[in-house]
Structure 1
Amino acid sequence: MNRFLITTFAIPSLFGLLQSCSVNFPSKDTAHTEQTHQMNHNSADSSHSDSMMSNTSSHAANHSESSTHSHSNQTSDTLSLTKAQLTKPAEIIVNQPQTFLIDIQDQAGKSITKFDTFQEKLMHLIVVSDDLEVFNHLHPKYEGDGLFKVEITFPKPGNYTLVSDYKPFEESEQISVLNAQVPGVKLTSSVKIDENMSQILEDTQVTLTSSQPVLQSGQEVTLKFNLKDAKTNQPINDLKPYLGEQGHLVIFKQSNPLSKADYIHAHALKNTPSDEVHFMTKFPKPGTYKVWGQFNRDGKMITTNFWLKVS
Structure 2
Amino acid sequence: MRLALVVGGLVLAVLLGFGLGRLNPPPSVPASATPASGGHTHPPGTGAHSHGGAPVDQAGSADAAGLSVTAAGYTLTPSSVDFPAGRAGELRFQIRDERRRAVIRFAVVHDKPMHLIVVRRDLTGYQHLHPTMAPDGTWSVPLTLPQPGVWRAYADFTAVADDGRQTAVTLGVDLTSPGGYAPRPLPAPATSTTVDGFTVGYEATPKAGESVPLRFRVRTDGGAAPLERYLGAYGHLVALREGDLGYLHVHPETGRDGDVVTFWLTAPGPGRYRMFLDFQVAGVVRTAAFTVTVP
2: distance between equivalents of 1:130 and 1:37?
26
* Residue of structure 1 in register with 2:228 after alignment: 240
- Corresponding residue number in structure 2 for 1:124: 115
* Correspondence 1:154-303 to 2 at 5 A: 154-169=145-160, 170=164, 171-187=166-182, 190-210=184-204, 212=205, 215-229=206-220, 231-232=221-222, 234-236=223-225, 238-255=226-243, 257-258=244-245, 262-303=246-287
Tell me the secondary structure at the aligned position of residue 144 of structure 1: coil
Percent of aligned pairs with the same residue? 25
Shift of 1:75: 7.3
Closer, same or farther in 2 for the Cα pair 1:159/1:79, shift >3 Å? closer
Change (3 A) 1:66 1:227: farther
How far has the Cα of 1:184 moved from its partner?
A: 0.4
Task: Provide the rounded CA distance (Å) in 2 between the counterparts of 1:206 and 1:139.
Answer: 24
| Distance (Å, rounded) in 2 between the aligned partners of 1:79 and 1:197 | 33
Q: Residues 50-92 of structure 1: CA distance to partner in whole angstroms, max 9, x if unpaired?
A: xxxxxxxxxxxxx67557989856279x961311100127x52
Q: 1:252 to 1:121 in 2, by over 3 A?
A: same
Q: Distance in 2 between matches of 1:298 and 1:67?
A: 33
Q: Match of 1:99, as an amino acid?
A: E
Provide the secondary structure at the position in 2 that maps to 1:249.
strand
* TM-score relative to the length of structure 2: 0.74
Cα distance change on mapping 1:64 and 1:294 into 2, 3 Å:
farther
Partner of residue 309, structure 1: 293
Give the Å deviation of 1:239. Answer: 1.1
For 1:117, what is the secondary structure of its paired residue? Answer: coil
TM-superposition CA deviations, 1:124-162 (whole Å, max 9, x none): 001111100121110111112221011110010011111
Q: After TM superposition, give the deviation of residue 205 of structure 1 in Å.
A: 1.0
Quickly say closer, same or farther: Cα 1:164–1:38, change in 2 above 3 A. Answer: farther
The residue type paired with residue 97 of structure 2 is D
Alpha-carbon displacement from aligned partner over 1:208-266 (angstroms, at most 9, x marks no partner): 211x4xx431122111111111x23x122x211111111111001101x43xxx11131
Q: Which runs of 5+ in 1 are unaligned?
A: 1-34, 40-62
Does residue 105 of structure 2 align to residue 114 of structure 1? yes
Q: CA deviation at 1:267?
A: 2.7
- 8 Å CA contact 1:84–1:176 kept in 2: the answer is yes
TM-score, normalisation: structure 1: 0.70
Q: Equivalent of 2:141, from 141, 150, 158? A: 150
User: Per-residue deviation at 1:270?
Assistant: 3.8
1:277–1:308 distance in 2 versus 1, CA, 3 Å: same
The one-letter code sitting in structure 1 at the alignment partner of 2:191 is M
Select the residue among 90, 110, 115 that pairs with 1:99.
90
For CA contacts below 8 A with separation 6 or more, give which structure has more relative contact order.
1
Check conservation: 2:122, 2:186, Cα contact below 8 A.
no
DSSP-derived class of the 2:194 partner = strand
Secondary structure of 2:263's match? strand
Q: 2:78 aligns with which of 80, 86, 94?
A: 86
CA distance in 2, matches of 1:118, 1:110: 22
Name which of 71, 74, 83 aligns with 2:63: 74
Cα distance in 2 for partners of 1:125, 1:68 equals: 23
**CA RMSD for the aligned pairs?**
2.7
